[in-house]
Structure formats: C-alpha cells, structure tokens
Amino acid sequence: MTTPTPWPDLVFARFLDAGVTLFAYVPDAGNKRLIELAEARAASRGDVRTVLLSTEEEGVALAAGADLVGGRAVVCMQSSGVGNIANFLSLARGARFPLLLMVSMRGSALEQNPWQKPMGEAVPAILDAMGVTRFTVEGSQELEPAAGEAVACFEDGGAAALVLSQDFLGVKEF
C-alpha cells in the first residue's frame, strides 16, 4: 500500500504543471506548507517566486500584472480574505484575466473562533456573486479533480477558487 501524497504536494505539483510561477499569499496556517514548498523551489531552482501580501486585494492586482506579462499566479488566503477582495473580484471579471484563488476555509460548525463563522458562511455567496467558479474539497478523493478543474481558469480566462473545507483541512487548534 502506498502512502497518499499530502495535499500541499499534490496541489503544488498541479499548479506547477499549469505554469503557475507566482505564489502570492497572506500568511495562513491552512496554506503554510504550500507556501513553504514554493519558497523551497524558489530558493533551489529560482523558477517560481513567492510574494508576501499586506492584504488579499494586492494579490488580485498581482495576478492581473502577471497575466499582462504572460505569467500565471495563484493568490493564497484564508476564507476571511475573500471578504477583503470582493470589490477587486470585479476587476478580474471586467478585465477577463485568469484568476486562481487558493482558499483555506474557517467558520465551519466545529470552528472554535466565533469571529470566523460569519465570513465562513458568506464565502460561497461572495464567490458566486462575483462569477468565481468554486471547486470545494470536502474529502481527499476530491482534491486532484478539483485542483485540475481550478487551474483550467488559465485556459478559459475566468476566475476560479480551489476551496479547502475545514472538514478536509481539520479545525484549527488554539
């Protein structure tokens, strides 16, 4: 029996295969290992770059700039960041550039921080309202197909979000 590939390794490989070379992020425990993989690759090969953002909105602008010069970016954030970028999603929709979001969810029924619940509940509606196609992962069997469909945004010019649920990631411990 083989050990399953940890999700960050699988997603990182899928992003690389899709030509993603820019990993923009706001620090988040859910995406921590994915960013560590990108930073290690940047240090060893120099063919990818990570950008620490002050706010998630910067990531959308960075993704637009990457597209303008023929690059591909992913913007990694926690679900609360989706609320921060709602207005910037209109830029992606109006300009029709590919936008890939990597969203680690908070706010499920088992959430220990009550401040995370309202935005956790609002994320699907915000993404839907702004025309972002959601690929939500609830279990490990859904990860690879969802990641593959999300990176198709680079071919069709739309916006996509690979959304990892708390059921998949586990609840953050305090």
Taking only the tens place, the pLDDT of each residue in 1-19 is: 344 559 999 999 999 999 9
In terms of phi and psi (left: phi > 0; alpha: psi -120 to 50; beta: otherwise), the region of 70 is: left
What does DSSP assign to residue 4?
P
- pLDDT grade, residue 110 (50/70/90)? confident
* Confidence (pLDDT) at 3: 42
> 7-168: what fold?
Rossmann fold (3.40.50)
In terms of average pLDDT, the best of 24-28, 119-123, 167-171 is 24-28
CA distances from 167 to 17, 63, 111, 154, 163 (A): 27, 28, 10, 28, 11
Mean pLDDT of the chain: 92
* Confidence (pLDDT) at 11: 97
* Confidence (pLDDT) at 159: 97
* pTM (2 d.p.): 0.93
The answer to whether residue 172 scores a pLDDT higher than 70 is no
Percent of the chain with pLDDT over 90: 76
The token pair at 131 is 């025309």
CA–CA gap between residue 143 and residue 96 (Å, rounded): 26
Domain residue ranges of the chain, discontinuous segments joined by +? 7-168
Mean pLDDT of 69-76: 98
Q: Which residues does 4 contact at the CB level (< 8 Å), separation at least 6?
A: 140
112/57: higher pLDDT: 57
* Confidence (pLDDT) at 1: 37
Mean pLDDT of 39-62: 97
